[in-house]
Structure 1
Amino acid sequence: MHDLQKQLSTYRLELARMKRELTVCDQQDAALTETARNLEARKDQEGDTAAIRRTLETKLHDISHFKSSNQRKRLQLLNTRDETERKLVHLTQELTLAMNRQQQSDSRARMIRSLHGDAGSKSGGVDEAGLKVADMKRQELAGTEPVRLSGSGRFNGLHEIFDVSERALQDVSSSLKEVRAAASSGDGPVLEQVLEDNLELRKELNALIQERRARAESGAFNSEGSEVAEEGLLQFFQEAALVLPKGSEKRTQKPAKSLLGW
């Protein structure tokens, strides 16, 4: 974080320097324009000799060259300023994220010390009401595990189990704000963030299990999606259906009717 603050200060100083140089460029351009206007007016006056006119034209040519050089320098400064401002914005965002992570880390460390009884005072401890609500949400998250769900109810298959698990995770996700509301201390956001991380891990686990289940059922295709790279149960049963055992045609034929119509 100290390095980010140092870089941020360096970029701010660089921006201030470029702003001063841009101001100087604008002032020089205005002065050169005014000088060129005066020379043009003097050049149009009658009575000047040819030598004076050549001198005035030389000065005007030099002023035009100086203005072009000044304009190029100004464009370079503008491009450099834009790039520096983008870096400054990026560093500011990184510094903000680093400060937020530091605050969360300090809050978690304080909460852990409080849970171990090292807080030193009651006011610095973890809010009991917030902990109760957080523990309740943790138990609700644990109850969304597919293995636990499969043993606590009647389901028609894995598809229904995962549907129930996803709906339960969505319900818990929408109610995590209750933890922050119940905690009167500053540890509410920390507890909420921990539960959100737990929630995201469970969602990723469910997605991984469903992806493996789909691969086991339908197989896996190649990168182009045109050929089956790994066969599944679907390909196995399709292949088995193509193979007819010997004598199956005889067993499947209908018996001929007798003369009596039986």
Structure 2
Amino acid sequence: MGAGVVLDTAPRLTSPWPFWTDTPGSGLASVPPDRPFSRSQVLAAASRCRGPGGEWAVLTDHQEWNRGPLPLPSDPAAWHQLAAGGGWQTVVADTSHPVAHDIVTARTQHQPGLTAAWCSLPFAVPVLCAPTTGPGVAALQTAIKAAFAEGLPLQRMVVALTSPGEGRPPASVKAAATMLQSQVSAVVTVPFDPHIRSHGLTQASRLSRRTTEAGAALVAAVLASAHRTWGDPLPPAATPAGLTTTTSVSARTVPPVPEGVPTP
């Protein structure tokens, strides 16, 4: 679908992405947090992964385990700026915050929430993931209720139900999936894959055919949601101001990033 990048927003020591990359880049630590950076710096920072659909880039933290934690911004606009600085056309943000907790906390404390901020980015299609277990879909249904109460865009959300093992999903999962069909844009089931259970996305080219087909269905569902919302073909994405006349971009010159919020 175009040049793509995965944004790894999780803390380094809890993220599997550094171990999944085939060709490590210089990592997020090489992108200056408080100075203008060039497109070449961002591209050099990106690692590479290869899978059935080709190669994609990953922006993650490759520092050694004993290094101090890299201060990553929580504001999604900073990550959006970083992806735009690299010139990618498709961005997958792998977020690690608990969605329902974030929504309810923001609502009760009258503060902006991370989930709402991610949903408000240009052409953003939220993807909620849950295992095909009774507790998994119960937590998912709570998140859906919280999102509905907060007025988040359920109509363009996609739900990915991941199977933790072989066999048919429980009846409660089937019933929940059927009910969700009318609340969100699409529900996609990702089958159990022994390779993912053992190796994650290491050697992603070895994923099973069923997993690859489910991945294609998930991408198609996300694109269909985007097209229903913004049209087909999609209009051009907004370009951060710093990229219109120069190859550098600064946190101080790009409107979507609040003052004082550094880029990764």
Q: Please indicate the TM-score interval, normalised by the length of the shorter structure.
A: under 0.3
Name the structure with the higher strand share. Answer: 2
Q: Which has the higher helix share?
A: 1
Greater RCO structure (CA 8 Å; 6+ sep): 2
Larger Rg: 1
